Structure 1
Amino acid sequence: STAASLDYGVKHLGIKLLVVLGHQCCGAVKAAQLPSDAIAGETPPLASLLADIKKGLGELPQLDEAAAHDRNAVSTNVRVQVAAMAASPVYAAKIAAAELKIVGAFYEMATGTVHFLEDDKTVDECVECNAAAAERDASLTPDEVLLRLKAGNERYCKNEPGKPPLSLNEKQALTVTQKPLVGLLSCADSRVPVELIFGAGPGDLFIARNAGNVFAPSTAASLD
């Protein structure tokens, strides 16, 4: 029924853009991650729908953070549906003729933000972006790096947004290599959140910490 409705919109109404919109805390996606015997206990139509979603999710990595796991599961299902729609003969012909585009999106209810998944990079693309950024930054002088650090602190002092959270793929890309420009010897005091006060994120700062920010043998070894 939904396919027929969308077909009508594309073929007869001239729709140019189709969006598959998943959302935070989707009950269907959560239920699809239950054991198969639990799904089989639902009504036949619901069991069939959940089984289809479960098949598309495959073996999801179990992330420690519940919100991250939820977003990954919902986004995975969205991508599966986008791929299924793009394979439809009606849509495929329109896409080939540049008359139609199909994109996926994730609605974050807590903030009202819609994240379009076509903006998400793959892990390999994130690694390439990190390498390109490191190559650009290699030409910076120490004084230019200091100016960048000061600018980050100014944003923090003005309560301006810091670095946005990394996507799952951006986090995965950081396991490949790191190229921080700043080494920082800081006190271990819990009231000094170093990345936060400089508007930085994972991979930006190489931090050694101890009580009193002392240049001791252990911190010296790390900074070396």
Structure 2
Amino acid sequence: MSDVTWDEIRSLRADFLNLQLTETANKLSERNCVELIGLLVKEGLLNVIYTTDGKDIITEQRLIREILDEIYANEGRINIVDLAQHLKIDLSYIESKVGDVCKEDPTLQFILGQFISAEYTSHLVEEINDMLVERGLISFSELIRQYDLPTEYLNSIVTNRIIASSLHNIKFESGTLYTDNYVRLQQNILIGYLEAAFLPVRVSEIIKNTRINENLIQSNKI
């Protein structure tokens, strides 16, 4: 630092001030920006969308990017009503960009007002499989309540992704998913109960005392 003279310091300071002035001179004021954007929009050279609070504008291409970012930030699933609120964009604009968003990411599905990613679907399949391995039996209505998903979509997942590719031989009958292991366990419980009985017993008593699944008995699965 001792090698630098005061003249050099003053020169550097002057250069810095000139640089600041130059940058300021090249900046547009907010009013000029508004006028320029208005002119570009009027001439058809720029398409912009105003936020619902009127404070910001966004281009159509940027809106598509923002929608994709929101989908990924919400673990691959979001409905367009929430999307419109998060982005402060009128719902009609979000709806008009559904096709463009899915074209940008072909792995996305748009089902009954919701964007659903392939990653979300894979995670859902894994989660349901884990539940079945642990519990052995799950009703379809329970899955609908738990995940709040469209019935058609969930049915497709169960049929094409869980039953078709399962290593646990999962069945889907009478609105219920169950594994072979679960059926065998129920059979063993029933056999043990009947072998211990000295007199004929009613089916209702068996169900009450053993908590065996009634649907499996009525469908002759056990």
Taking structure 1 as the reference length, what is the TM-score of the superposition?
A: 0.27
Structure ID, larger Rg: 2
The higher relative CO (CA closer than 8 Å, separation ≥ 6) is in: 1
